[in-house]
A and B are shown apart, each in its own frame.
Chain A
Amino acid sequence: MHEEAIFAGFGGQGIMLMGQLLTYAGMMEGANVSWMPSYGPEMRGGTANCQVVISSKGVSSPLVTEPLSLVALNKPSLHKFAPWVAREGLIVYNSSLIEAPPERRDVRILGVPCNEVANELGDLRTANMVALGAYLAITKVVSFETVLDAMKMVLPERRHNLIPLNRQALSRGMEIASLWHSQDPGREIS
C-alpha cells in the first residue's frame, strides 16, 4: 500500500486536521507515515494545505509533488493542485464552493457538496469530515474505525464531545462516495 495525498482549502476549514487524522490512523494501522503542513504568513487567513504519505514501505520524500489523491475544499486550492495529481489519481472536491469540476480527463473526480451536507448535520465545521469520509470510501487507505480512534488522539479532551458529530459527517461522506461507486464504477465521477 502506498498513498500520497494533498489536502487543501481555506485556513479555518480544518485542513490540517484532515491530514493529521489520516496520518495518525495510518500510523495506528502500522504503516509508515509523514505529514507536512504549509505554514507561515500563508496560514493566516489564506489557503492552507498539508501533504500526507502513508506507505507499507518506508516514507522516502515527505514532500508530495505528484499526489495520488487531492482533496480540495475551495477553488484556489483546486486550481493550484489539480495539475499536480498523478495520472489515474483521484480528486475529491467541495462542490458547494467549486461550481466547475477540474478539467482533467486522466484522473478520477468526485464532487461532494461538503458544506450542504455539513449544514444538514447542523455544523458547517464538519465539512472537512464529509470530504475525508468520501476520500476514505474510495481509497480505503485506512478504516473508518481507526479514523475515529485517531480522533481521540488528535482532538484535545475538551473537544471530544464533537466526536459523535464528526463520526456522522464522516459516515455521510462515505455514503455519498460509495453510492456513486456502486452506480458508476470505474469511470469519471463528478
Chain B
Amino acid sequence: MRKVFGRPEAMADVPMHYCPGCTHGIIHRLIAEVIDELGVREKTVGISPVGCAVLAYDYFNCDFVEASHGRAPAVATGIKRTLPDSVVFCYQGDGDLASIGMAEIVHAATRGEKITVIFVNNAVYGMTGGQMAPTTLPGQRTTTSPRGRDVEGAGHPIRVAELLSTLSGVAYISRVSVTGPTNVIKAKRAVRRAFETQIEGKGFSLVEFLSTCPINWGMSPLEAMKWVDEKMSLYYPLGDYTQVQEVAGNA
C-alpha cells in the first residue's frame, strides 16, 4: 500500500504543548518536512527561543540548542562558524526576535550569516500571558495595552521582513501565513527556499510567519485565522521581500 501521509522523520513522536488553534504545530511540521525533503536532518542544528516555542527541541528529531532570550542568531552564528557544513536554523517569536533580540537579528542578517530564521509573529507575548509585543497592531488590546495599543505612547509595530530586507547580507526573506491550504503550500515553498538559500551558501534567509494566538487574542481558532487574513495581513503584507543589494564599493 502506498503511504500518502506520515510523520516526517525530522519530527519527534511526542504530543505538543501548544494551545488549540495555535499555528506553531503547523510551522514545526513544515520545517520538518523540508528538512526531510532536503535530506539534511543529520547535519541540522536548530535553536529554540525563549517564548512559547522554548520547548521546540522536544518536537524536532535533530540536534537542538536552547538559546537565551533573543540571542538565537548569535548562538546560531557560533554554531555555523564552527560547523560551516551544518544546516542551522533559529526558531524565534516576535518578542524574542523583534524586541529583546533586535541587535542580534540585524547583525546576523547584515553579516550574511548562512543561517535560516523562522520568525513567528503572532502580535502578542504568548507564554507570559498576553502582553504587548513589538508587532502588536495599533489599537490591539493586550494585558499591557488594555485600552488598545496607542502608538503615541507605545510606538509603532515593527515590520521585520521589510526592515531586514534593506540589509546587504540578506539573500532571501519572505512573509507567509498558514491560514488555509493555499497559504500553507506557499509557506512551505518559502521555508524550502530559505533552507536552500542557506545550503547554497548565498547568505542570510528568513521566513516571517503570521501566526495566531486565539487564547491571548480572546478568539476562537477560526476567528483567529480570520483575524490574520483580515487584519494582520493588511499591516504585514504577505510576499517576498528580498532585494538583492549590490555592493557599492569598498573602502
Direct A–B contact in complex, judged by CB atoms less than 8 Å apart: no
B interface residue numbers (CB < 8 A to A): none
